[in-house]
Structure 1
Amino acid sequence: MPLKTLLTLVATALVATCASADAPAHTDADGMPPTIAIIIDDMGHNLVEGTRLANLEQPVTLAFLPYRRHTVPLAKLAHQNHKEIMLHAPMANTRNFGLGPGGLTPDMGSQKLKTTLRRALQSIPHVQGVNNHMGSLLTQQLQAMDWVMSELDRYPVYFVDSRTIASTIAGQVADAYRIPNLTRDVFLDHEQTEEYVDRQFKLLIKRAKENGSAVGIGHPHKVTVDYLEKHLPMLDEEGIAVATVSGLWAMRNNNRPMFAEGEKQVIQPAYAKHR
């Protein structure tokens, strides 16, 4: 997409975002209950907590780092247990934290960035979406986000902006490419205490009640998994639904399909096929 055209589309999307900020609270005309989607980032490192998350009864969405030791077997287990799978794509941050394999950085040219992203997608079994791991630097850069979204536009995947910095433009560029996308509302576990997770979880539910739905992001910390195992089964009694990311997107978009059949190129798996 020409950069001038992209700039115009992003500017339009930013105006629309600002205009909607003062909109009244969402009321679901179809009577749908307030709904949350919970994404667990950084999957692939921790086998014990990753297995517990894959075995949860509720439809949490699991975002896997590429090429980590337990990514492939845990993603396969999660898929068997009807979980939705995402690529947690490492992106450059403002603090120069290391990204590990599969990282996307500003010094990459277009072809290298796209090839790195494509191979990372191919390394995740059953991948349906992408969100950014860190990315406080890269998600502010229009050219880099153009390259990211032009690659993602080839495949039947959605994008979630983890919103690791307020000035991110990732969601606006995804909109410009008409890639189905959502934005994170609440981080659950910046502090790894039960009190903090409880406060953030209640904030997530509050946002869902105010707006109809909300997206929370957590991590495979023991305190987080313990909390979710205990509290997710209680949500039915509170009248709160839990959905996958694609389910939440459909709810917000009149249940229309994300992609027409045959519209996108199938992702060719390129990972070790363990039995």
Structure 2
Amino acid sequence: MPENYGKSSKDHRTVFELVEDSKKNNLGKISEKTIKNHFARLSSIWNYYLLRDLVDRNVFIGWKFDQKYKVRRIRWNDEQLQTLMNSDWNSPTISPKTFGYIVGLGSYAGMRLEEICRIRLQDIIEIRGISCIFIRDHTARKNRPWEKWSPKTEAGERVVPIGQSLINADFLRFVAHQRNIKQYYLFSDLRFPGKDKKRSDAFQQAFSRFKLRKKIPKGVDFHSFRHNVSTKLRNLPEGQQGLRESWLDDFLGHEGQNKSVGNVVYLDMIDVENLKKVADSVGISRLLGYTKIY
């Protein structure tokens, strides 16, 4: 089955038609992890049927799955970035501007998708004259338990200075506009909570469909932007180097190679100027010259 199976309620093709289309267009297949999740849910239904003598056995148990299976993520190459750059975003629920800035934060700040979609206006702060995004634990407002959230790792809680490339793309003006109309979340047109209780669900599905329509292969996904950023920073041309490894880890929210009590970077000790150098260096690399959507 193709990896976008079940993601559109308007697709009424049969299983055989979907499989044939997948073969014909060389589409990516659903992962073994997804298959395992489907089997687990169907097994629960079949257990219900067994208790009521509607079936004689549970056909969804006893299967073996590769527990170590992972999608191998691949960096965006220049051709794929060009395809992304020259394609119009046409989601009926997510605006081109939201799409543009989410992609911009992924490709210039290396942020994870859920981190981006969870940004609240109160998380955009100024430290020593530098505009930053403060990625931190969220508490839920009254009767909104789904708003409670924590970064992926301890190192994930961090300060990300906004690089010059995003500033040049009027990102701060967009932030000011959202504040003026008194929004809570920066990207207010995202539906929330999503099916998996993630604020990124709707965007993730729309981006996946968009990517598949453009024949961008499986493994090249939104998270691949982080790989692009990390690789670009660690392979800057001579003359643009001088960035410490610890700065790169702090910027991207990696644990780092020498993690210890003495190496933990607390918020009040962060050298924001150094992190701003990292943020601006991503722009110098021209990872994604995607300005049309802004």
TM-score, normalised with respect to structure 1: 0.28
Looking at secondary structure, tell me which structure has more strand per residue: 1
